């Protein structure tokens, strides 16, 4: 497949043939480990944003956990004011997140041209709190809320993006607090500077306060060329609202930028605040709009004909091994996977025929699952098939690896596995996942 090289030396598929699905466009933005491009869905013509993550840089930077966390978080968030993840693609060197495209760009660029009116500031703050409150209710804390991470769609509605620094409730330590230092200096909460642990929800609301201040004022509340001086201002809560700030807004900002997280305003308290309550309409979401789709088991309940989601399938991709990011390690069972274009029924028949020729017993068989045992009753393998796309399936083989298994592993490795090689789907260079 033809390739192009971007300005950092990264090799990307040519714009006319990105997985045969997307035409790659201009570079929208970049960081140390990822770049974001505009692209067009070839089939629908829809604009999308593609976040390309360099695998080598990711591993060298020790940031595999960031990808794991971002994937885990984005799989559970479905909200009108949060950028939606459409699908995930992978090659040997890169991971691609295909994201909802926010045509209006960053909110930062709009404010940089001039401050917003109080009414417009309130409108965007309502949308921000709607998204942030939704995240918190699902155990997600963004931890890097700033104007650069707030985008606008074609209707000029706000979209929160970039969950790479987010935390989930599972990361909270025994003291009930988070402890990882993170965030952007001008938006960081004072309790993070104190290095004593913090409430993820409270630091998000501090950042929301900084954002609201900038929308109204047109500049940051805490700013200084000397970083330590700026941190001192943040720690002491030293800021001044511009003269055009209304008394109600000034009071509301002071409750957000309260240096004491215990007394800082909560989202529940905001609902009753006179400045915030004006024009606020709570957005309701049904459970099916944010249901987490876990990996489907084909073990006899008919689930094998359902599609796996892209996050589980990343680890199955040819040429890229991210299983350590997405699967829990198993000590007694070895799990192997391959992608096939053969129908589940034909795969089961092939495995069954090969097993019987080697003197193995098929002790259980269903449409998407088969279990094999040796003549002495020792477990040999269980094979499960998951639907990937209309054409492709993922075949998962689980075998015991403990010493009491005996020669059964050799039977699989030396006899059965070679016979199944012809079932393996072998794309030329890439695999589409999602």
Active site residues: 144
- Helix (H), strand (E), coil (C) string for the chain: CCEEECCCCCEEECHHHECCCEEEEEEEEECCCEEEEEEEECCCCCEEEEEEEEHHHHHHCCCHHHHHHHHHHHCCCCCCCECCEEEEEECCCEEEEEEECCCCEEHHHHHHCCCCCHHHHHHHHHHHHHHHHHHHHCCEECCCCCHHHEEECCCCCEEECCCCCCEEHHHCCCCCCECCCCCCHHHCCHHHHCCCCECHHHHHHHHHHHHHHHHHHCCCCCCCCCHHHHHHHHHHCCCCCCCCCCHHHHHHHHHHCCCCCCCCCCHHHHCCCHHHHCCCCCCCCCHHHCCCCCCCCCCCCCHHHCECCHHHHHHHCCCCCCHHHHCCCCCCEEEEEEEECCCHHHHHHHHHHHHHHCCCEEEEEECCEEEEECCCCCEEEEEEEEECCCCCEEEEEEEECCHHHCCHHHHHHHHHHHHCHHHECCCCCCECCC
How far is it, in rounded angstroms, from Cα 308 to Cα 312? 7
């Amino acid at each position: 497949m033809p390739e192009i090289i971007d300005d950092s030396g990264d090799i990307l598929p040519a714009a006319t043939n990105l997985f045969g699905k997307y035409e790659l466009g201009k570079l929208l933005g970049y960081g140390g480990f990822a770049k974001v491009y505009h692209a067009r869905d070839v089939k629908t013509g829809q604009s999308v944003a593609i976040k390309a993550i360099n695998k080598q840089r990711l591993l060298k930077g020790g940031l595999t956990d960031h990808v794991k966390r971002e994937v885990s978080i984005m799989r559970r968030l479905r909200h009108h004011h949060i950028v939606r993840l459409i699908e995930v693609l992978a090659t040997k060197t890169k991971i691609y997140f295909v994201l909802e495209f926010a045509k209006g760009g960053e909110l930062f660029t709009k404010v940089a041209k001039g401050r917003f009116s109080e009414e417009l500031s309130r409108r965007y703050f309502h949308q921000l709190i709607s998204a942030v409150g939704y995240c918190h209710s699902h155990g997600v804390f963004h931890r890097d809320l700033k104007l650069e991470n707030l985008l606008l769609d074609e209707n000029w509605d706000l979209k929160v993006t970039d969950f790479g620094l987010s935390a989930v409730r599972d990361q909270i330590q025994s003291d009930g607090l988070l402890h990882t230092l993170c965030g952007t200096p001008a938006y960081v909460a004072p309790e993070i500077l104190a290095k004593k642990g913090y409430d993820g929800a409270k630091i998000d609301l501090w950042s929301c306060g900084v954002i609201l201040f900038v929308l109204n004022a047109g500049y940051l509340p805490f700013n200084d060329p000397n970083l330590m001086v700026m941190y001192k201002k943040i720690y002491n809560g030293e800021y001044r609202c511009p003269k055009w700030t209304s008394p109600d807004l000034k009071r509301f900002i002071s409750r957000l930028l309260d240096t004491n997280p215990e007394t800082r305003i909560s989202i529940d308290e905001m609902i009753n605040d006179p400045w915030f309550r004006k024009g606020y309409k709570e957005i309701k979401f049904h459970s099916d709009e944010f249901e987490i789709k876990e990996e489907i088991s084909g073990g006899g309940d008919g689930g094998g004909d359902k599609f796996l989601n892209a996050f589980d399938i990343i680890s199955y991709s040819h040429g890229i091994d991210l299983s350590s990011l997405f699967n829990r390690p198993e000590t007694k069972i070895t799990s192997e996977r391959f992608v096939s274009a053969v129908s589940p029924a034909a795969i089961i028949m092939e495995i069954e025929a090969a097993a019987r020729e080697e003197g193995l017993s098929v002790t259980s068989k269903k449409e998407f699952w088969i279990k094999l045992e040796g003549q002495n009753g020792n477990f040999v393998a269980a094979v499960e098939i998951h639907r990937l796309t209309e054409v492709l399936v993922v075949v998962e083989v689980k075998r015991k690896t403990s010493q009491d298994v005996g020669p059964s592993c050799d039977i699989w490795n030396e006899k059965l596995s070679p016979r199944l090689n012809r079932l393996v789907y072998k794309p030329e260079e890439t695999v589409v996942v999602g």
